[in-house]
Amino acid sequence: MSEQGRELATIFEAIADGLDIQGENYHRILAYRRAAESLRALGEPLEQIWREGRLDSIPGIGDILAAKIDEYMRTGEVKAYTKLQDQIPLGLLTVLQIPGMGPRRTRLVWQELGITSVEELENAADAGQLHRLRGIGPATEQKILEGIRAWKRQRSERIPLGVAWPLVNEILGALRDVPGVRAAEPVGSLRRMRETLGDLDLLAAAESSEAAMICFRTLPMADAVLTVGTTKSAIRTAEGIQVDLRVVSPEHWGSALYYFTGNQAHHLRMRALAREQGLSLGEYGFRRLVDQAAGEEICVPGAPEIVCADEACVYATLGLPWIPPELREDRGEIAAALAGRLPRLVTRSDLLGDFQCHTVFSDGDNSLLEMAQAARAAGLRYLVVSDHTGRDGVPPEAIPRLLAEVAQVNRLFAGEFRVIAGIEVNIQADGALDWPDEALARMEFVIASCHTDFGLSAERMTARLLAAMRNPYVDLIGHPRGRWLGKREAAALDMDVVLTAALEYGVALEINAWPQRLDLNDVDVQQAVTLGVPLAISSSAHDPDGLAVLEFGVATARRGWAEPQHVLNTRPAHEILERRRQRLWRRGIEV
């Protein structure tokens, strides 16, 4: 990504945060956020795209935002950002990132106490000044303090998966093109697809490491070279992300790939299993133990006796099937492998449809036909259009126009692809939906989601979701915890109660694949799988490129031990529609 693209993405994010504090329209705010993400994901310099007149080819960039990019490229500034700086202190943009400090609360502490920075907010909370304000009690004040500490930890330690993945794939692409490099893969928590990461670790196999190391240290995104070695080097990107590369010989590839993937607890259990068989397991392979007295490993000197060129060999040596990286978290995967009970994890190719996308009917950038064509090109067989309701969304009186367009698009596909007429309604603070039942009854699929009021107590937030699930027309609860990684903590929920209710009412829970959400998370998914609660993986795409994030949702599902039968969109469209009909019939409603 070019320096201009990076700076403009930062400006757009700041504008979005400022509009949030000012209480502007949610969809306008979201448009700026999505534009910032698209700029960060550019594979070519922004200046080149601008000079060639291709700004409209950037996902999420319409005429208004294209004009702002043009303004920046010509003048070096965006007037909307300059105006924002005059209206609110820039320190409030950081305050907004604190868990528990939504836009209304941020505006409140600014206007009532003059707080304009995280430090001032922390001092006020420590002094007990916040709970004197309307709507902030002592318990909320304490939560804000805890949120500040959590924000500081997250800010200093973790990288979102959605940021790390495109960066690492760009680096890996360059390494794989180096002559003599046999393989290159991510390792560590990135290979296990954790939602946030520390430093990024890569592994390559080559007969000689020199060419790979030179390529790595001279990458365009390398802002600084931190360490230089013959088999290991580290760089830091302009965004402050540290990336480490280790190179091993091809014969040790499997052993090293296993060893550096982790996690530590998984590795400790594997080492214990190896000891039981008289072996010591390390990064270069297995050695024979000659004495295990006092718990010490004393190995036969010399090179490893069992060298693994592929990772499956490591597990096979210990009598195990290969364990997918996403499961290597010491949550029972080794016991399951020993018992022959490893799940057949869901894959991207298992998905037949996508349950959430947005079009120009609300805040999407493309027509329904364009989104359907993109979904079909992505290998899907159906798409649930689920535009937002509420202000600037789809009003009930627009249902005939929406249904007519769905029917028209389906006629064009002539049975080769199906669009399902859905809607994403808002769950209000009291659990009521912002569409009446008679409107919901006309849709083929209904998603109910929370988009505001995330600071409710666990009791009220749980009751809110339960009220929505009791509505017979609701098929799916979208992004149940409402979190935004790095910006907003997950809402307080009694997940046991939510899962039990979902099972009782036959309502599915979403795994929202948008990298800033990944909601449900992997722990919630595993609990849902155990109970038999149906899940759905959705992209929440607002443009054709947004469909690509389905892979992150699949990764989260895999980390939660989900198999294809646990995920609704591994089923064909006619089964999804029949499932809704059966649910309504059981509730006494004929369709």
- Residue 45 has a pLDDT of 76
pLDDT tens figures, 399-455: 999 999 999 999 999 999 999 999 999 999 999 999 999 999 999 999 999 998 888
Give the mean model confidence (pLDDT) for residues 515-531: 94
- Residue 388 has a pLDDT of 92
Give the mean model confidence (pLDDT) for residues 248-277: 92
- Residue 294 has a pLDDT of 46
- Residue 102 has a pLDDT of 79
Does 211 have pLDDT greater than 70?
yes
pLDDT band at 1 (very low <50, low <70, confident <90, very high): very low
- Residue 37 has a pLDDT of 83
pLDDT band at 80 (very low <50, low <70, confident <90, very high): confident
Output the six-digit token pair for 296.
């010490």
Q: Which are the contacts of 440, defined by CB distance < 8 A and separation ≥ 6?
A: 423, 425, 433, 446, 471, 473, 474
Give the mean model confidence (pLDDT) for residues 157-173: 88
Question: DSSP for 271-307?
Answer: HHHHHHTTEEEETTEEEEEEE-GGG--EEPSSS-SB-
Residue type, 290: V
The beta-carbon contacts of 174-181 under 8 Å, at least 24 apart in sequence, are 174/215, 174/216, 174/219, 175/202, 175/204, 175/212, 175/215, 175/216, 175/245, 178/206, 178/211, 178/212, 178/215, 179/211, 180/206, 180/207, 180/208, 180/211, 180/212, 181/205, 181/206, 181/211, 181/212
- Residue 219 has a pLDDT of 94
pLDDT band at 479 (very low <50, low <70, confident <90, very high): very high
Does 174 have pLDDT greater than 60?
yes
- Residue 530 has a pLDDT of 96
Helix, strand, coil % (nearest 5) of the chain?
50, 15, 35
pLDDT band at 73 (very low <50, low <70, confident <90, very high): confident
Name the percent of the chain lying above pLDDT 70.
Answer: 96
In the chain, the domains with their CATH numbers are: 3-156 (1.10.150.110), 159-248 (3.30.460.10), 254-338 (3.30.210.10), 348-586 (3.20.20.140)
Does 291 have pLDDT greater than 70?
no
pLDDT band at 22 (very low <50, low <70, confident <90, very high): confident
Name the percent of the chain lying above pLDDT 90.
Answer: 56
3-class DSSP state of 549: helix
Does 320 have pLDDT greater than 60?
yes
Give the mean model confidence (pLDDT) for residues 496-523: 95
Output the six-digit token pair for 382.
């159906």
Does 312 have pLDDT greater than 50?
yes
Give the mean model confidence (pLDDT) for residues 13-29: 84
